[in-house]
C-alpha cells in the first residue's frame, strides 16, 4: 500500500466508484458525498428519474456521476453493469453494495417467491457484484462497502426475509474480506439504524412509528441519509487502510442497549 499524510487520508480525487441503489436514500447520499470529494461515480438503480436527480445534485462538484439503469435481480444485467462501469471509469477502485428491498410479514405470511425476491436484491446481487468486480478490485487494491443493517446484528418480529439477508450479508463481508486480504482489497460493512428514507413509512404522517423510533434510539431520533456519507468516505479512503472484514455500526446507539 501507499502511505498518506494526514492531510490527504480522506482524499478521493479520481477514485473510480460503482454505487448500487444510487437513485434514493443512503445510496444517493453516498454517491453525492463521494463525488463531492472528487470521486468519479457510476450510480446503478432501476429508477431513471431518481438517477437523474442524483446526477443533478453532483453537477457542480469536483467529481462526476454517471447514471446506469439496471435490474440488479438479473445476473446478466449485473455483469453488463460492471462492464459498463469499468468501461466508463477505466477500472474500479470502490464498490458500494447498497441496493435493498424489504417485506414486512411473519414467516407464515411470507411466501417463497417473496422470500427469494428479497434475498435476490439484498444478498444475491451483492454476491454477484463482488464476484464480477473481483478482477478489477484486485487490480486496483480496491475497497468494498456493503450497506447492511442493524437487522444484520439483531432481529425484530415479522421481517424474516430482510433479517436473513442482512445477517448473511455481514457473513459474506467477513468471508470475502479474508479471501481478498492478501490481494490488498478491503471489504467492510456499514450497519445503519433507522434512517428516514422511502423504506420507512412517512414519518411525518405516521406519528406512532416516529415515536417508536425516537423511543428505541438513545439519540432520540432517526438518521438522515447524509449521515452515512462520513462512514462511506472513511471506508473508501486511505483513512481505513488497515481495516477489513469489519462492521461499522451507525445507529444512534440503538444496539448498545
Q: What strands lie across the sheet with 247-250, from one edge to the other?
A: 64-69, 40-45, 16-20, 94-97, 143-147, 186-192, 247-250
User: What pLDDT score does 217 carry?
Assistant: 96
* Average pLDDT rounded to a whole number, residues 222-235: 97
The CATH number of 12-251 is 3.40.50.720
CB atoms within 10 A of CB 83: 12
User: What pLDDT score does 248 carry?
Assistant: 98
Q: Which band of pLDDT confidence, cut at 50, 70 and 90, is reported for residue 204?
A: low
Q: Report residue 142 as a C-alpha cell.
A: 480496491
Q: Which band of pLDDT confidence, cut at 50, 70 and 90, is reported for residue 209?
A: confident
Q: Report residue 244 as a C-alpha cell.
A: 477489513
Instruction: Return the active site residues.
Output: 162
User: What pLDDT score does 197 carry?
Assistant: 82
Give the whole-angstrom CA distance, residue 241 versus residue 257: 30
| pLDDT tens digits, one per residue of 55-111 | 999 988 899 999 999 999 999 999 999 999 999 999 999 999 999 988 888 999 999
Q: Considering the chain, what is the average pLDDT of its residues?
A: 94
Calculate ∠ Cα 193-194-199, nearest 5°: 125
Q: What is the CA radius of gyration of the chain?
A: 17
% of the chain beyond a pLDDT of 90: 86
Element of type H or E holding 137: helix 125-140
Amino acid at each position: 500500500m501507499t502511505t498518506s499524510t494526514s492531510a490527504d487520508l480522506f482524499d478521493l480525487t479520481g477514485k473510480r466508484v460503482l454505487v448500487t441503489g444510487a437513485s434514493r436514500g443512503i445510496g444517493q447520499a453516498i454517491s453525492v458525498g463521494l463525488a463531492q470529494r472528487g470521486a468519479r461515480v457510476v450510480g446503478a438503480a432501476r429508477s431513471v428519474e431518481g438517477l437523474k436527480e442524483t446526477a443533478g445534485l453532483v453537477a457542480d462538484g469536483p467529481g462526476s456521476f454517471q447514471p446506469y439503469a439496471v435490474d440488479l435481480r438479473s445476473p446478466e444485467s449485473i455483469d453488463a453493469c460492471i462492464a459498463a462501469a469499468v468501461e466508463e471509469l477505466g477500472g474500479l477502485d470502490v464498490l458500494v453494495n447498497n441496493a435493498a428491498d424489504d417485506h414486512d410479514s411473519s414467516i407464515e405470511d411470507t411466501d417463497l417467491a417473496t422470500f427469494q425476491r428479497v434475498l435476490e436484491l439484498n444478498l444475491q446481487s451483492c454476491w454477484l457484484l463482488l464476484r464480477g468486480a473481483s478482477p478489477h478490485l484486485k487490480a486496483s487494491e480496491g475497497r468494498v462497502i456493503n450497506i447492511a443493517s442493524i437487522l444484520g446484528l439483531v432481529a425484530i418480529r415479522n421481517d424474516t426475509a430482510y433479517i436473513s439477508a442482512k445477517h448473511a450479508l455481514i457473513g459474506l463481508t467477513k468471508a470475502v474480506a479474508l479471501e481478498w486480504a492478501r490481494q490488498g482489497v478491503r471489504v467492510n460493512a456499514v450497519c445503519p439504524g433507522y434512517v428516514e428514507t422511502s423504506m420507512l413509512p412517512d414519518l411525518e404522517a405516521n406519528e406512532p412509528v416516529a415515536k417508536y423510533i425516537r423511543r428505541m434510539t438513545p439519540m432520540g431520533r432517526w438518521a438522515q441519509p447524509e449521515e452515512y456519507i462520513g462512514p462511506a468516505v472513511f471506508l473508501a479512503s486511505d483513512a481505513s487502510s488497515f481495516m477489513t472484514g469489519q462492521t461499522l455500526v451507525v445507529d444512534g446507539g440503538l444496539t448498545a442497549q
